[in-house]
Amino acid sequence: MKYLISIAYNGSKFYGFQRLKNYDTVQKRIEEALTIINKKEVTIKGAGRTDRNVHAYDQKASFNLDILINPENLQKALNSLVAPYILITSVRLVENSFHARFNTLKKEYIYKINTGPFSPFLQDYTYQPKSKLNVKEMKKCAKIFIGIHNFQNFVSGSRNNYNCIIYNIDFTYHNKILEIKFTGKSFYRYMVRNLIGAMLDVSNKKNTLEEVKEALNNPNIKKTFTTASPNGLYLAKIYY
């Protein structure tokens, strides 16, 4: 039987989502729990990877079990084994052909920035800049990224294809926390953090809007920007 689960987790407690042999990861914890329930080894397929210290509200993963378990009971059993820093928020049965990654239609990421006084209690969950942000210039920078582009200068590592579509980048405040939400088809390694970094560089006058445009429009011209801290990044929602 194939299942799809929704997962929330505190990324500050793990070495990322993907399984690593000698480190504690979200995937490793869930697979260990499912193996206990299934009484046979289980491997899950995540909708995407998150790095160390990156959080999630709605990560997704699909997997097969040898036994049929009511989704509600499976959710309760999983949560009893993966607590306290992982929470399975939903479980449902899916078709055998379903794949958590390949069936994804779009994703949302949120980056949180504390614009108020420094707080040690927010350190693991937001980025806390040392100087005041120029949010107006950051919004101008964000508009440059909307649409289909080659994001080679904003991605870490080598790929065969750097093209990606970003549908929206929205700015909202919750008290003193600035939330920047990215909605797109897919995002590559460090991409959101590098886009945030470019916005911060513009805000800090380290780079200009024209330099950001040039890096986006001419991917063969190598240009690097700040990579924002992982602490403020959340995988917010996966759409199918």
User: What single-letter amino acid sits at 182?
Assistant: F
Q: Amino acid identity, residue 194? A: N
Which residue of the set 51, 58, 66, 124 is catalytic?
A: 51
Alpha helix stretches (DSSP H) within the chain: 26-38, 71-82, 135-145, 191-203, 209-217
Neighbours of 21 (CB within 10 A): 6
How far apart, in whole angstroms, are the C-alpha atoms of residue 99 and residue 42?
A: 15
Integer Cα distance of 136 and 82 in angstroms = 42
**DSSP calls for 97-124:** T--TTTT--EEEEEEEEE-SS--TTSTT
Q: 58 catalytic, yes or no?
A: no
Catalytic annotation, residues: 51
